[in-house]
Amino acid sequence: MAVETSYVMVKPIFANEKWVIEEVKSRLKKAGLKIEECGFVHYDKKHARKHYAEHVKKDFYPPLEEYITSNKAYGMIVSGEDAIARIRQMVGSTSNPAKGTIRADIPAKMGIEVQTRENVVHASDSTESAEREIRLFRELLTIEAYKE
């Protein structure tokens, strides 16, 4: 296994809940991953299109863009051995996530059901995506990033 760097974003709606951010961070740390940088960002349409470049022409993109630009999000640069695959497993699938994953457990704790595009978190799916998403995150930081 190689050390990788990934990007994790707590999406709008959920980024307004401090406990959600703390829950996601806690799960990442318990898995032995390191949060390198983190902070609140607000995606504008230009950055949303760059972030979700592979989805822009898909039918589900317009509501996704509307959601991701609706309010602040909380981004994290996370590193560790095989980080991308491990984080994706922890996050769970976009639709019908399994119990025990972030996308299933947090809405359950809140007593809500979420639409696929309005799920709790985004996590990079490849090294290339992570590099692009980290670059965009750093462009958008609205507060001073800090090391943990």
Rg (the chain; Cα; Å): 14
Identify whether the C-beta of residue 39 lies closer than 8 Å to the C-beta of residue 145. yes
The model's pTM is 0.91
What is the pLDDT averaged over residues 38-54?
Answer: 93
Average pLDDT, the chain: 91
Position 107 scores a pLDDT of 92
Give the domains, in start order, of the chain with CATH numbers: 3-140 (3.30.70.141)
- Mean of the pLDDT values across residues 24-51? 96
SS3 42: coil
What is the per-residue DSSP string for 61-121?
A: HHHHHHHHTSS-EEEEEEEEETHHHHHHHHH--SSSPPTTSHHHHHHHHHT----GGG-SE
Give catalytic status of residue 122 as yes or no: yes
Instruction: Report whether pLDDT(43) > 70.
Output: yes
pLDDT at 148 > cutoff 70: no
Contact 7, 126 (CB under 8 A): no
Catalytic residue among 42, 47, 55, 122: 122
Q: Closest by alpha carbon to 92, among 53, 73, 120?
A: 120
Half-sphere exposure of 20 (CA within 13 A, CB side): 25
Q: Mean pLDDT throughout 98-114?
A: 91
The token pair at 68 is: 């991701």
Report helix, strand and coil shares of the chain as percent, to nearest 5. Answer: 45, 20, 35
DSSP 13: T
Tell me the residue length of the chain.
148
Higher pLDDT, 114 or 7: 7
Q: Please give the average per-residue pLDDT across 46-75, as a whole number.
A: 93
What mean pLDDT comes out for the span 112-122? 81
